[in-house]
Chains A and B, each alone.
Chain A
Amino acid sequence: MEKKDYKKYFLGLMSAEDAEMLELQIISKEIAPAELLPAENELIEDYLEGNFTDEEVKAFNANFLITGERRERVKFVKLMTSYSRNEKKSAAPVENNKPSFFEPLKLFLAARRITLAFTSILLILTLGVAWQFLFKTNKNNVETELAALNKQDLSNLDKFKNDKNLSLVSGSLRSGGNVSSLSENDLTAAVLLRLALPNSAVSNDDFTVIISKDERVLKTFVQPSIGNQEVRLLVPKSILKKGSYQISLEKNGEKYNYFFLVI
């Protein structure tokens, strides 16, 4: 059987005899699951992408979505597709659960019965190196993520308005007013910050952006202003942890500060 036959089967558009034959082949293992799995997955993707004819949509709703389990499968594909398209790999948290680095080290030490003192010194050194390495890796990931996010053209907000992975914080972050706060739990994968420039800011050029958290500089980079009115930044959720943030925009000795809290 071909993929189009499986599609007809799932949509309930196959004759009863052919469907029975196919189901018998499934039970007797003449059809491998690896043949049917992609067919079912593609069917769901085609439905979600609107690639179906009216008849197929009707058949899908009437014959495919007949069980709660299938509805859950559709929901999962929808969730995963939207995640993959919008966030790609950059949105995934940086930590991973690979086998511990220390496991082979422990085995190594146990096997050779190295003295406790030597083991301790070695472990301390290793921890130091590992900490340095992890810190740098994390920093590099954040930098890559920030750079990738802000490389895109942010001048047209319309193209972001339907992006459910992005929330927008508009220019209420200036110093002098109340400090705005963002709830960490409510943050989307990326947050679009609109930093309003004062009227006196005459430059239409690039600003140096300095993002600090709890008075520690996290990142410095260059970002253009939009129509001399504001600077827009896309900040990944991964760097917006609970704490006090300051963003400074610098240009020709002028400096504008913006404050907000993540709670």
Chain B
Amino acid sequence: MKKQIRLRQENFDDLLRWFSADREESGSKYEEIRNGLVQFFYFKGCAGAEDLADETINRVAAKLSVLDLSKNTKPAHLFYGFASKIFLEYLSDSKNKEIEFNADLHAPLLNEGRAAENERKNHECLNKCLAKLALEDRNLIVEFYGGEKSEKIERRKKLAATMKIRSDTLNIKIYRLRNTLRKCIEKCAAEK
């Protein structure tokens, strides 16, 4: 990726003013755009979505004075253009590329043979990391990923009903638990 832009205070102030003359409103618009950018990079499959969102904002802010904003430009459209370019830069960065074929990853789940050594380590790490979760969170994520095909859908519906939450809330909760577990597993695997 290109050299990262450092945001100057005056550029940031200009950006907030462009969002709205009202400081409070501009603050909430800034947060809204930033959250949207984080989601954009996450669903594009980028690691470090927050950093990429900040880089997008910094670049927009730095260029704001030379951009033609007379045509009622919608912030989302402007940010999207910059974010798309940053995503391409991210992809061209060799460390983010898919550079090797991983036979283990491509093996269908139901036909896999004896676990490879690294997979065994991952299982050990998963065990350790699950043990660090609160009991209800551990049971939740194990239950969520249990079951096969059609049974799985029913199981998740029941899970949400039992917890008296909506299915989208359940998905957000699982997403957070997944992130916690992934970080823990990565740390554990690196220590082995």
A and B associate: yes
Known: A37-B171, A41-B171, A71-B98. A164 touches B132 (CB 8 A): no
Chain B neighbourhood of A53, CB < 8 A: none
| Interface check A91, CB cutoff 8 A | yes
B182 contacts A76, C-beta separation under 8 Å? yes
| B-side contacts of A92, CB under 8 Å | 127, 130-131, 138-139, 142
B47 to chain A minimum Cβ distance, whole angstroms, is 4
Complex interface: chain A residues within 8 A of B182 (CB): 72, 76
19 further A-B pairs in the complex, CB-CB below 8 A; given A33-B39, A96-B131: A23-B84, A27-B36, A29-B35, A32-B168, A50-B109, A65-B98, A66-B97, A67-B45, A67-B47, A67-B90, A67-B91, A67-B97, A68-B97, A72-B182, A75-B122, A79-B119, A83-B142, A92-B130, A96-B134
30 A-B pairs whose Cβ atoms sit less than 8 Å apart in the complex: A23-B80, A24-B76, A24-B77, A26-B43, A33-B175, A34-B168, A37-B172, A38-B171, A49-B109, A50-B110, A66-B91, A67-B96, A68-B47, A68-B96, A69-B47, A71-B98, A73-B45, A74-B105, A75-B105, A76-B181, A79-B185, A80-B178, A80-B181, A81-B145, A84-B142, A93-B130, A96-B134, A164-B114, A188-B120, A189-B127
What sequence of 0s and 1s flags, for each residue 128-171 of chain A, a beta carbon within 8 Å of any chain B beta carbon?
00000000000000000000000000000000001011000000
Contact of A27 among B83, B127, B148 (CB under 8 A): B83
Q: Is the CB of A85 within 8 A of B33?
A: no
For the residues of B in contact with A, the DSSP-based class is helix
Q: Does B67 contact A (CB under 8 A)?
A: no
Quick check: is A56 within 8 A (CB to CB) of the other chain? Answer: no
Q: CB-nearest residue of chain A relative to B32?
A: A29
Complex CA gap A83/B127 in Å reads 9
With A27-B33, A67-B98, A92-B142 already in contact, the answer to whether A162 and B112 are too (CB < 8 A) is yes
B115 with A164: CB separation less than 8 A: yes
Do A85 and B146 touch (CB < 8 A)? yes
Does B6 make an interface contact (CB < 8 A)? no
Q: In whole Å, how far is B191's beta carbon from the nearest beta carbon of chain A?
A: 14
- The bracket for how many chain B residues form the interface is 35 or more
**Cβ contact within 8 Å between A70 and B45:** yes
A95 contacts B by Cβ under 8 Å: yes
Which of B45, B144, B146, B168 is most buried by chain A, counting CB atoms within 10 A of its CB? B45
Contact with A along B154-181 (1 / 0, CB 8 A): 0000000000000111011011001001
Q: How far is the CB of A259 from chain B (nearest CB, A)?
A: 26
Complex interface: chain A residues within 8 A of B133 (CB) = 96-97
Q: Are B40 and A48 in contact (CB under 8 A)?
A: no
Question: Would you call A76 and B178 a contact (CB within 8 A)?
Answer: yes
Decide: A165 and B91 in contact? CB cutoff 8 A: no
A interface footprint on B27-55 (CB within 8 Å = 1, 0 otherwise): 00000110111011011111100000000
Residue B141 at the chain A interface, CB threshold 8 Å: yes
Q: Which residue of B lies closest to A77 (CB)?
A: B145
In angstroms, how far is the closest chain A Cβ from the Cβ of B168? Answer: 3
In chain B, positions 57-111 with a C-beta closer than 8 Å to chain A are: 74, 76-77, 79-80, 83-84, 90-91, 95-98, 102, 105-106, 108-110
Dominant secondary structure of chain A at its interface with chain B: helix
Selected from A28, A48, A82, A98, the residue in CB contact (under 8 A) with B135 is A98
The one of A33, A36, A83 that contacts B126, using a Cβ cutoff of 8 Å: A83
CB contacts (< 8 Å) of A50 on chain B: these are 108-110
Smallest CB separation, B124 vs chain A (Å): 8
Most chain B beta-carbon neighbours within 10 Å: one of A10, A26, A65, A75: A26
Contacts of B35 in A (CB 8 A): 29
| Chain B residues with CB under 8 A of A75 | 105, 122
Q: Mark A45-70, 1 if CB is under 8 A from B, else 0.
A: 10011110000000001001111111
Chain B residues in 8 Å Cβ range of A45: 152
B123 at the interface (CB under 8 A from A): yes
Of all chain A residues, which has the CB nearest B109? A48
Tell me whether A35 is interfacial, beta carbon within 8 Å.
yes
Query: Cβ of A65: which chain B residues have Cβ within 8 Å of it?
Result: 98, 105
Other-chain residue from B95, B108, B130, B168 in contact with A48 (beta carbon distance below 8 A): B108
